[in-house]
Structure 1
Amino acid sequence: MSEKPIEDNGKAFLVLLLPISFLIIFLVATWRILLALIVLAIGFKIWQEYQWQQWTIRVNPIFHQLVRENQGRLTPMDLAIKGNFPGTTAKRYLDGKASEFGASIVNSEEAGQSYYFITASILGNILDSSEPVKELPAQPVTKTARSLLAPPTTTTLEEEETETESIPEPTLTHEEAKRSLEKQLIFGSLIQSELAKRLNVYSSTVYKRRNDPEFPEWSRSKDPDGIAWSYSEKTKEFFPVEEE
């Protein structure tokens, strides 16, 4: 009864020993070739990395120029067009720069991936747009205000009617009303920090998204009153979007 298990164990050992023997013989006979292949693979990898580093050095000036021109916002398409190389290469380059400088990556359906690189000058612009306090223009004192401030005087009924008739009622056309509304928007326009408080987000978030085509809809979803906002490059302020 005890001889059969011993015999089975010996056969199992021989089954394992045979392929191990062939593997050892193969390694002894081909170790020089295998070592040469490993060295070649490592050398090729090092050469590729060296070539990439040399290529990035040539591309860095283009990258720095685009960062200045686009206020820190870049897409792989921008870099690929400017440098005339494939988009996959541009994306690999921007991924490396984003990891190096801690840039933010924003995904959108229309523009795809956008990389935001915040430089000292761009950060200064963010802080400058958040600091100033808007000064309201001087308003003329109306008749009502003068009547409240001045001591009461006795006037005849004729004088009151003459004074009332001398003040023409304003009649505005559609274009004039539109221009008047734009002038009054100084009360409805917000700087970056004010809009960020209204939307309950960081000021840097508003800065990153302000030129995004989807900014009005995004701001509408954040606004407590459901108002869509648009950014004006000219005044560096945010205005409510008029409903059509």
Structure 2
Amino acid sequence: MTKLLRTAIDNAGSNLVRYAVIFGATLCLVGVVSTLVQTLLPLLQILVPLLAVWWLWQRYRKVQNRQQKHLHTTFYRLLQEHQGRMTLLDFAMTAEIPAIAARYYLDNRAKEFAARFEVTEQGDVVYVFSTLQFSRMQPSPTATPVASEDSMNELQRSKALSQAELAKRLGVAAKTVSRKKHLSTLSDWTQTRDPNGVSWSYDAQAQRFFPVSDRPSAQSETEHR
């Protein structure tokens, strides 16, 4: 009986020591974790927002790249379908984007490809990209002298601008150009405002503005007609 009691006491003591060790180890682990959290907390407060911002930026870039690819595809398709001519409304409706975004995109492409601008009778602005028609303007190697002269006259006319186009180039209103187009001071006035210092003159018969050095003569006009 005494031996059994002693054995039970020894077992109870062993279990108590084991539980005490486990409890102590648990307290130590909690203390270490708590210390690490307190130490890393300032870093986590900075790192977590940075990770969130980076994730949002990557998502934004993917959306923008997808949108730009869609706009490029629509733009080049419309160029082929309309032979290089495009209006703001056509592009906005086809691309399904707001007019402001469509104008911003087309203005950038117009600068990139040196597009011209034409104004219809209804007052709509037409973007004219001549890159698709450039090959047609190249003189043929076997062309006769008369054909070469016609090509030169055609090239001169390609430099001509309408009233709206010249106003946009000079950075003034179209009404201002309309008031000055018949004045003798037109060449000097346009030269001071032209970004490349080019002088412009007005041809009433053609109703176009020509660079002074490239303006076709009356004889060339008659022969071409």
Band the TM-score falls in, shorter-chain normalisation? 0.3 to 0.5
Return the TM-score normalized by structure 2.
0.42
More helix by share: 2
Return the TM-score normalized by structure 1.
0.39
For the pair shown, the structure with the greater C-alpha radius of gyration is: 2
